[in-house]
Structure 1
Amino acid sequence: MDRHLVHLEGSSRRAGSTGDVNSLLRSLLTDHLDPGYAIAAEKNKAGQPRTAVLWLTIGAVVLGLIFGIALTNNADVPGGAAESREIVTRIHEAQDASVELSDKRNSLAAQTDSARESALAGNADGAALLTKIDTLEAAAGVQAVHGPGLAVTLRDGTTKGRSIVLDLDIQAVVNALWASGAEAVSVGGVRIGPSVTIRHAGGAVLVDNGPVFSPYKIVAIGPPQQLHTGFVVSEAFVRMSGLSQLYGVGFDYDVSEDLSVPAAPVHELRVAQEGGR
């Protein structure tokens, strides 16, 4: 190495630039990166703030255009509030029409039952048929009943604004009452029959596709003491007791000597076939 340095120094003296050669050698031995990299890095650092400001400005302009277009479109909608009121009015009218049709259906059903009894009660075969019909209708829940039984009431507790009582809770209570000997059950004034469902949709509990609200009153007609004994040892009782302690859900039950359960909803008969003889 020393010989090489001496040789280079000698050559440089002949060129008349000894200081430049020594500087070049020191740079080669100590600097591992070309100076051009450092210059480029400095330029990039100087350009980054300007680039960030440019992109922020473009983003602000784009957001402003989007909000402006949205406001313009909303302003161009004629009578938005009036249309909303009209829709609400139509909903109320449809609900009133549904109630009116339901009352009319019930009235016609009562007339049909009266005509049927008048036609069949005149002879022994007709009387036997009426008895069979009454038995089937009682099993299907199409007749209102009243008598002793057990009433269970569930009230929503809330955690962070959410309802706690779900369709699964009500289903569990209803199934426990059936298992305890209930002869007829209603939830929120709706009779539970073969085609009636209890489910959760859109944050509401639906019974037979109609909403019911807290407090949820579940009425069971049957032997009071048998219902009480069977219910308090059921899994549904343990479930609701736990929800009451953990989340503040209202849970009450009471034996009564006179409870009422309405008739189950009557669905439209679409297909019928004469039975074989």
Structure 2
Amino acid sequence: MAPPRRLTVWTALVPVVALAAGLLFATSGQTAQGTDLRAGESSQLSTLIDQRELAVARQQAELARLQQQIDQLTDAAASRNGQVAEVQAQAGTGLTAAGLTPLTGTGVEVVLDDAPRQPGGGLPSGATGDDVVIHQSDVQGVVNALWAAGAEGVAIMGRRLTATSAVRCVGNTLLLQGRTYSPPFVVTAIGDPRQMRQQLAASPDVRLLAQAADEYGLTYEVADESRVELPAYEGTTAMQYAAAVR
């Protein structure tokens, strides 16, 4: 009969390690529930953005429904009361100037897009990753130039802008009125096409964009449009201010 084997430290530790590993795998599976744990905060942020976009879409739909009811009630009151009709007519001018009514006219369309991918995913000679994408300053430069040219109304991706609208980029996506948009970015404006083209050509920010388009293949295209239709602004008109933490 063979002599009994000596109990070593490793002999005792192997079952303990195996048990701990099994518990770890079981805990990971329970926590992940079919998701990618390595994605971490990036996955959570993407999910949060999607949830917020859905919430914004629902709220905007409800806002449009309520605004339609208000308009109907106001029109009904104006038909019975001369003072209401007079105030309504005076308010109409202000609503148009504020971008709160649809607008149609001649104008321009500006298209901005990242440079196309090179074979193998490489970059153009002498370029960095920042050189081949559209930046917030590019979009803002185009919008500012159009306003400076006397545009009656401006929209990005079909979303009407007002004097308080902010153009923000998150990575290579545009964040506008609670929604995100990927390039190509389309900017439309109503006004004198000749004056808007001249102002775009004179803008230092737009000149840098045009130069990058020539050197790195970015898209910067301006086209005259005989008919531009801009929707009414659908966001909130309430001003928001930063407040100190107490």
* TM-score, length of structure 2 as denominator length: 0.69
Q: Give CA deviations for 1:143-173 in whole Å, capped at 9, x if unaligned.
A: 2212110111011126465552111110011
Q: Would the aligned equivalents of 2:104 and 2:228 in 1 still touch at CA under 8 Å?
A: yes
Q: Give CA deviations for 1:230-258 in whole Å, capped at 9, x if unaligned.
A: 32333244222111012211010011111
User: What is the root-mean-square deviation of aligned Cα atoms in Å?
Assistant: 3.3
Among 143, 146, 164, which residue is 1:174 paired with?
Answer: 143
The 3 A distance-change label for structure 1 pair 175 and 89 is closer
Give the Cα–Cα distance (whole angstroms) in 1 for the partners of residues 169 and 31 of structure 2: 35
Matched residue SS, 1:197? coil
> For residue 143 of structure 1, what is the amino acid of its counterpart?
T
Give the Cα–Cα distance (whole angstroms) in 1 for the partners of residues 22 and 106 of structure 2: 62
Pairing 1:199–2:168 present: yes
Pairing 1:221–2:190 present: yes
Pairing 1:108–2:66 present: yes
The 3 A distance-change label for structure 1 pair 268 and 82 is farther
Q: Would the aligned equivalents of 2:110 and 2:187 in 1 still touch at CA under 8 Å?
A: yes
> For residue 103 of structure 1, what is the amino acid of its counterpart?
A
Give the Cα–Cα distance (whole angstroms) in 2 for the partners of residues 203 and 224 of structure 1: 28
Number of aligned residue pairs: 202
Q: Which moved more, 1:227-236 or 1:93-102?
A: 93-102
Matched residue SS, 2:227? strand
Give the Cα–Cα distance (whole angstroms) in 2 for the partners of residues 145 and 172 of structure 1: 23
Pairing 1:76–2:45 present: no
Q: Which moved more, 1:125-134 or 1:179-188?
A: 125-134
Pairing 1:125–2:83 present: yes
Percentage of pairs with the same residue: 25
Pairing 1:147–2:116 present: no
Q: Which moved more, 1:151-160 or 1:211-220?
A: 151-160
Q: Which moved more, 1:74-83 or 1:234-243?
A: 74-83
Give, in angstroms, the shift of residue 270 of structure 1. Answer: 9.2
Q: Which has the higher contact order (CA 8 A, sep 6+)?
A: 2
Q: Which has the larger radius of gyration?
A: 1
Q: Would the aligned equivalents of 1:183 and 1:221 in 2 still touch at CA under 8 Å?
A: yes
Structure number with the higher helix fraction is 1
